[in-house]
């Protein structure tokens, strides 16, 4: 199993309407920027590109990468805000429906809340968790469920009209509680359009956070004794502009030291 993976964080500036089909074309253009970089995962933010499963499955096949996208899922009369996952062959591996919907989703998009069950997905590099926005950083339940299933990395796709400043703090808390890696993607700064009304979305700050590299148990003990804050867990943090950034995420540290970490601090899943 791979010690580390390469993740492409896509931080787009969307067109104002979520369901604008041009967002899909823009997503495909942005992905071209990582051609040749051999990402293991390509991760878009919440509600982007909103539609286009076939095209995104083709991206996964072309790049031989897992693709995570913010898509609307229609089942019967219910519309769900989901993180949707495709495997390297373009197969639909699964969806995670958002549980905690904001007023814009409920009143303007008429979305339905998910069931609050957070599932681990098995990949060729380990177990991953998907969570949409506040479901992860704003509530403890998703992290607990992921940890109980042995998830090593969580992909937290987001979109922020407010509260972006709480994102890093909340995510660091979940990462520390469960000793795991977190990749967070947001849109770039832009104005969304809801029923003719423009809503400013505070863009940027997509990130990678992960425990520091440690080689052996003595290295782990030295780290524990010197632990004062978690700022160094944030290894990548983007600005507010549109961009695509590829980063390395080390999963080996989680596998080697998670049990020792839990024992040291008395954490239980």
**CA–CA separation, 211 and 28 (whole Å):** 32
- Condensed to tens digits (0 to 9), the pLDDT of residues 140-174 reads 999 999 999 999 999 999 998 877 789 999 999 99
Higher-scoring residue by pLDDT: 151, 201:
151
Q: In this structure, are residues 163 and 171 in contact, taking their beta carbons and an 8 Å threshold?
A: no
Query: What is the model's pLDDT at position 185?
Result: 98
- Condensed to tens digits (0 to 9), the pLDDT of residues 14-53 reads 999 999 999 999 999 999 999 999 999 999 999 999 999 9
Mean pLDDT of the 76-85 span = 97
- Collect all residues with Cβ–Cβ distance below 8 Å to 172 and sequence separation of at least 6: 209, 230, 233, 234
In the DSSP assignment, the letter for residue 21 is T
Structural domain harbouring 166? 4-265
Say yes or no to pLDDT of 256 above 80.
Answer: yes
Say yes or no to pLDDT of 97 above 70.
Answer: yes
Say which residue the tokens 């969307």 belong to.
14
- Collect all residues with Cβ–Cβ distance below 8 Å to 263 and sequence separation of at least 6: none
Higher-scoring residue by pLDDT: 225, 151:
151
What is the CATH classification number for the domain harbouring 85? 3.60.110.10
Burial class (CB in 10 A: 0-12, 13-18, 19+), 133: buried
Domain count, the chain: 1
């Amino acid at each position: 199993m791979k010690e580390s993976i390469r993740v492409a964080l896509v931080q787009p500036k969307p067109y104002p309407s979520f369901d604008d089909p041009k967002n899909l074309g823009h997503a495909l253009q942005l992905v071209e920027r990582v051609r040749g970089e051999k990402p293991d995962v390509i991760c878009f933010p919440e509600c982007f590109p909103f539609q286009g499963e076939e095209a995104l499955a083709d991206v996964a096949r072309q790049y031989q990468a897992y693709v995570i996208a913010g898509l609307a899922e229609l089942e019967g009369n219910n519309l769900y805000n989901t993180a949707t996952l495709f495997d390297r062959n373009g197969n639909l591996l699964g969806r995670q429906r958002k549980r905690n919907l904001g007023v814009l989703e409920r009143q303007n998009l008429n979305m339905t809340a998910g069931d609050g069950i957070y599932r681990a997905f098995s990949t060729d590099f380990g177990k991953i968790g998907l969570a949409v926005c506040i479901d992860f950083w704003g509530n403890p339940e998703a992290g607990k469920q992921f940890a109980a299933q042995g998830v090593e990395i969580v992909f937290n796709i987001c979109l922020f009209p407010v509260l972006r400043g709480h994102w890093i703090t909340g995510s660091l808390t979940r990462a520390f509680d469960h000793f795991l890696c977190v990749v967070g993607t947001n849109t770039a700064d832009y104005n969304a359009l809801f029923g003719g009304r423009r809503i400013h979305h505070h863009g940027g700050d997509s990130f990678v956070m992960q425990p520091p590299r440690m080689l052996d148990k003595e290295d782990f003990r030295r780290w524990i004794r010197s632990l004062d804050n978690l700022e160094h867990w944030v290894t990548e943090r983007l600005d507010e502009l549109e961009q695509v950034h590829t980063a390395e995420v080390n999963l080996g540290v989680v596998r080697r030291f998670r049990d020792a970490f839990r024992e040291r601090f008395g954490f239980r899943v």
